[in-house]
Amino acid sequence: MTEGKKPGAGRKSSGRGQRDLRVRVKSAKGRKLSSTLWLERQLNDPYVARAKREGYRGRAAFKILELDDKYRFLVPGARVVDLGCAPGGWCQVAVGRVNALGEKSGKKIGRVLGVDLQEVEPIAGAELHQLDFLSDGADDKVKEWLGGYADVVMSDMAAASSGHKGTDHLRIVALIEAALELAFDVLEPGGTFVAKVLAGGAENEMQALLKRRFRKVANVKPPASRSDSSEKFVVAQGFRGRDEAELAVGDEGSGN
């Protein structure tokens, strides 16, 4: 060994050191391979690590952050309804962006209302309710809690997986169509609807309905959405209102 040099000095890096930083999970007795792979993916997901550092309840928070960075619908003073809000990451983002806590001096103070079938741990600045949004009168309850209409209705909901891609696609389309019906009742004219959908082809009718009811419709896959996932998000802006929408069939003015 040449004096003054450390072991390995002068050698070209093989890159193994970098690859070895990846956490690998050994299969445990009784654990399914799919569970092991999911755990390994979570441990190596930079968005999961970032969510922990920044205090968000899940990596999904970055999806709504990225969508809002591009389309700017969570503005100070906005009244937001988050359907299927558990575990609460989207509500956390909305609270900060609409200034629900009044921390941005000189800015309007917004409202964040989260609803879910299950009880959700409290979030500072958000009003959370346990509610089945599919139940009769749910839209009236939402308006009552808000004290009026909403500027944004958003949803990161997904139906329970059946293991069959086609069935899961149909289920989530039906779920989002139900969320849309509520949005039509509670949105202010000019409002925004944001929801997760799964690519698959059965959403064509839903897309046509969105284009009749909103002035601009975009379909986007934010960077935080995993590349191997079929999910995408629809951002529909400029709600035409309950009366004008009926006259907008065939309107060429809305974009995709």
Which residues are known binding-site members?
Answer: 88, 90, 116, 132, 156
Torsion of CA 43, 62, 58, 174, to 10 degrees: -110
Euclidean distance between the first and the last CA atom of the chain, given in angstroms as a whole number: 66
Residue 32 annotated among the catalytic residues of the structure: no
User: Which residue ranges make up the annotated binding site for S-adenosyl-L-methionine?
Assistant: 88, 90, 116, 132, 156
- The Cα 50–Cα 59 span in angstroms is 8
Identify the active-site residue in 141, 196, 216, 232: 196
- The Cα 154–Cα 158 span in angstroms is 13
- The Cα 188–Cα 209 span in angstroms is 17
Q: Are 224 and 66 in contact (CB under 8 A)?
A: yes
User: Which residues lie below 8 Å from residue 94, measured CB to CB, with a gap of 6+?
Assistant: 64, 74, 80, 82, 100, 110, 112, 126, 152, 154
Percentages (nearest 5) of helix, strand, coil residues in the chain: 35, 20, 45
Query: Where do we find the tokens 């974009």?
Result: 255
- The Cα 122–Cα 112 span in angstroms is 12
Helix or strand (DSSP H, E) at 218: strand 214-220
User: What phi and psi, each to the nearest 5 degrees, are found at residue 174?
Assistant: -65, -40
Q: Are 188 and 144 in contact (CB under 8 A)?
A: no
Q: Which residues are part of the catalytic machinery?
A: 196
